[in-house]
Amino acid sequence: MSLIRWGRTGPLNSLTHIQKEMSDLLDILSSAPQVEGYSSMEFPPIIVSANEENVFVRAELPGIQINALDIQVVNDVLTVKGERKPVVPAARATYLRRERNYGTFARSLMLPEKVDVEKVTASYKHGVLLVTLPRAPEAKPKQVMIQKA
Amino acid sequence: METKEHPSVEKKKITPDKCVVTGKGDWYFPQSDIYETPDNFTILIDMPGVGTENVMIDLRDNELIINGEVAQESFRDERVLYNEYSVGHYHRHFVISDAINRDKIEAKMSDGVLSLVLPKAEHVKPRKIEVKTE
């Protein structure tokens, strides 16, 4: 940084200031999530992953009572239903800011593999739901032995 | 109270230089509610994936800084097939006024929701003034 004599703030200085403000604004706007059509509106957002044994479905569901969740697997369709109940303040309250939403939701998704419906388990930790769906025996990869003729 | 048919969540990514603690991974802007009761202000913040031990709440001057770190659960041998959200840490800060009794701020984390109770200082609490008769 170079030294500038006191009192010499020309018109160029304010322009640099505007330029800086603009680039800050662009930074904020470009860091916003990319809207990908309808899928970004779905609740809860999910991640589906798989390994050789299981298919995993993770969902971000903060602040939900487990008994307000209903998880079903029918054939290869997983359905997660539930309700996010509003926090009812003890005394009369005035909301100053409201960003979190409440309400009922339901989501179904087609699983990528055939699963063993009997062995599906689900856990809920720190507001994240994890459904573990073991692959059906016929969907597991099988090693083929090569025999020497 | 308004109830929406489909609650929606949008994760806003923030640039790390805006965060006070810079660690590995991305940082997100969590959603929060603030309400006021006669005795307290309550802040609720959604931070799915953050455990009680990974929340850091700092009060510097009049800024309340909240950082939530998600446990970096690795997808070791998993292949991600479909992805709708990104996993990352959370950061949010609020400027608080002198109307808050700073020694008595309480925080609780449950099911990925942080609730902060900020009690009002005695001098701002609503008080009933009795009218005396002579």
Transcribe A109-126 into DSSP letters: EE-SS-B-GGG-EEEEET
Alpha-carbon distance of A112 to A135, in angstroms, equals 10
Residues of chain B numbered 90-109 and touching chain A (CB < 8 Å): none
pLDDT score for A33: 57
Residues of chain A numbered 6-65 and touching chain B (CB < 8 Å): 27, 31-33, 39-52, 56, 60-64
Q: In order of start, what are the domains of chain A with their CATH numbers?
A: 41-87+102-139 (2.60.40.790)
pLDDT score for A78: 93
pLDDT score for A102: 83
Alpha-carbon distance of B57 to B66, in angstroms, equals 5
Q: Cβ A96–B36 below 8 Å, yes or no? A: yes
Band (A131; pLDDT cuts 50, 70, 90): very high
Euclidean distance between the first and the last CA atom of chain B, given in angstroms as a whole number: 46
pLDDT score for B1: 40
Q: The complex's ipTM?
A: 0.75
Q: Cβ B49–A98 below 8 Å, yes or no? A: no
Q: Across-strand partners of A50?
A: A55, B79
**Contacting residues of B for A78, CB less than 8 Å apart:** none
CATH code of B29-72+85-116, in short, is: 2.60.40.790
Domain boundary assignment for chain B: 29-72+85-116
Alpha-carbon distance of A141 to A138, in angstroms, equals 8
CB-based contact A114:A138 (threshold 8 Å): yes
Tens place of pLDDT per residue across chain B (134 aa): 444 455 555 567 776 555 555 556 778 888 899 998 888 899 999 999 898 888 989 888 888 889 888 876 666 678 888 888 888 888 888 888 888 888 889 999 989 999 999 998 888 777 788 888 88
Give strand ranges (E) for B5-62: 12-14, 27-29, 32-36, 40-46, 55-60
- pTM assigned to the model: 0.71
Task: Summarize pLDDT for A59-94 with one digit per residue, the tens.
Answer: 999 988 888 899 999 988 999 999 988 877 766 888
Between B13, B111, B112, which is nearest A33 by CB? B13
Say how many C-beta atoms besides its own lie within 10 A of residue A140's C-beta: 13
Say how many C-beta atoms besides its own lie within 10 A of residue B3's C-beta: 13
Compute the half-sphere exposure of residue B102: CA atoms within 13 Å on the CB side of its CA. 12
